[in-house]
Structure 1
Amino acid sequence: MPNFQANAANGAPRDDLSVLTVPAFQDNYLWLIHDGAHAAVVDPGDAAPILAALAEHGLALTAILLTHHHADHIGGVPALLARFPVPVYGPRNDGIAEVTHPLAEGDRVALPELGLELVVFDVPGHTLGHIAYVRSTPGLHWLFCGDTLFAGGCGRLFEGTPEQMAASLEKLADLPEDTEVYCAHEYTLSNLRFAQAVEPGNEALALRMKDESAKRALDLPTVPTSIGLERRTNPFLRYREAEIVGELVKAGKLSDGASPVQAFAALREWKNVF
C-alpha cells in the first residue's frame, strides 16, 4: 500500500483542512488537499495512487489543480476525470487540453467544498506557462509550486530564461517565512549536496543536511519545506551572496564583475552537471 503522509494544517476560516502526501513514480509527490470528505488534487501525474488515497480516506474528488504541462504532473488527469467529472484548473498558457478553468497571475481559485481560496502566481522558467497556487489565510500559508521551487533547489530551465526563473523565485521568496512549500519532487538531498558545494560556510545549511538526511534514512519526505528555510539554505534564492559568487568564480563558472542574473544562470548550469 502507498506510504501516505498526512500534514495537518490548522487555521481560520477552516481548521480541518489537511494536505495528504501521495508518492508516485520514482520521486514525485502528488498533493491532496482535503477536509475528511472532499478533496482537491494538485498535479496528479498518475491516477492510480490518487484513486487509492481517495478510497483509503473516504474522500470525494471535487477539483484538479495543475501547475504545468509535463506528463508527470498531468498524466493522471484523463483517468481521474473518467471517475470524477470535476473542474480542472491550470495555466492559461501552457497547452494543457484538459484545463476547463485557465488561470494567470492574480486570478483566484475558490473551492467551496473545502472553503478554500487560492491565489495564482505566474512563475515561468521551468516552462513558459508555469503557475503556482498560494493560500494566504492569516497564520496559515501554503504554496503549491510544481517544479519551480524545490527544497534546496529549483527546476531546470526547459523553456524559460534565467531572468524569468530568477524573477519567479524572488516572487515566491517574498511570501511569508512560515509559508509551507509543497513542491513536487523528492530531490532534497541531491540539492543540498550542491548547495554545500557552493556555500560551504553556511551553518544553517549544514544543520539542514543533517536533519533532512535523518528523515530520508527513515523513508520520510523532506517536504513540505518553508520559505524561511529556503531563504536561509537554498542557493537559488541566495545567488547574490558573496560566498556563492566567490565559489562560482573560483570554479571558473563566472567572471569577476558579472551581474546577479549571470550568477544565477551560472549556478543553474553548474547544477545541471553536478
Structure 2
Amino acid sequence: MNQMTVVAALTRDAELRYTPGGTAVLEYTLAGERAEVRGGEVKQVPFYLAMTTLGKAAEALAERLKQGTAILVSGTLVQERWDDPQGGGKRSKVKGKALRVEELAGKFELVQDAGGGVRLKGGSALVALGGNLTRDAELRYTPAGEAVMTFSIAVNETWTDSQGQRQEKPHYFEVELWREQAEAFAAFAPKKGQPVFVEGAPQSQTWTDRDGNKRSGVKVSATNVILLKGGDGPAREGAPAHQPATTGAARGGRAAAVAPRAGSLDIDQGLASSEEDLLF
C-alpha cells in the first residue's frame, strides 16, 4: 500500500523539463502548515514536499501551477536513487509522485517563509504505507525524556513496462513514532522483516546519521503504526500505536472545506516508473 494526499500551495512556480526520451516532467514543491498537538498544545508545523507530475498532464499543468496556487494532490510517496556525479556514492530523495491534481477554488491564507517562498496555512499532508521493516525498530529517549522510536520500511512498487514485462522497485522510508505511541509499539519488539502499516505525515527534517553526518530529507511522522501478521511463522496480533492526527484538513480546516475546481487531471500511469529515463 502506498497512498498520499496533500493539500498545500506551490512555494514557487513549477518548472517543466523534458527527459532525453522526450517525457515531460513538471517539478514543484508544495508547502503548508498543519496543526499538530505537541506537549498538550496545538502548534502549526510547516512542511515541504517536492512533487513530480509526468507526461501530458505535466504540460497541461505547467502554465497553471504558479507560486501560491493551492492544490489537492493524490498519488504516492516515492524514493529516487542515483549515483552522486561528484563521487559521493549513492544519493536518494523522497518526494511525491502526483497521479491526480486538482486546483482549489476560493481564497486562502498564505504564509511567507524566510527563503522567499510561501506556505498554505491550514494545509495537510497524509500518507498510508504498507511495507516491511528493513531493520529492528529502535527506542530511545530525548534529553527532555520523550520517547521516540525510529525505523525504516520498504514499500514495493510494481508496474508493467512498455514491453509487457512486470517490474518491481522498492522504496525506502524513514519513520518516527513519538511518546506513548513509541513505548506501546516497542513492547512488541518489532524486528527486521516484519510487515507494518503506517499512517502519518511526510515531514521535512534535518538530522545526524549514525556516522555523524548532517543529513536533510523527508521522514514520515507517524500517527498510527500497526504490526501485521506475516506470511510465514506464527501469527501475531496487530500492535497498534494510535493517536488521531490533528491537521487542518482532517479537523475541518479551511483547506479541506473548499471544493476543488472542476477539470482535474490524471496522469498516464504507464509513464510513472521509467527511472533510467527520469534521473540524470
TM-score, normalised on structure 2? 0.26
Which structure ranks higher in relative contact order (CA pairs < 8 Å, sequence separation ≥ 6)? 2
Q: Which one has the largest radius of gyration?
A: 2
Higher helix share: 1
Higher strand share: 2
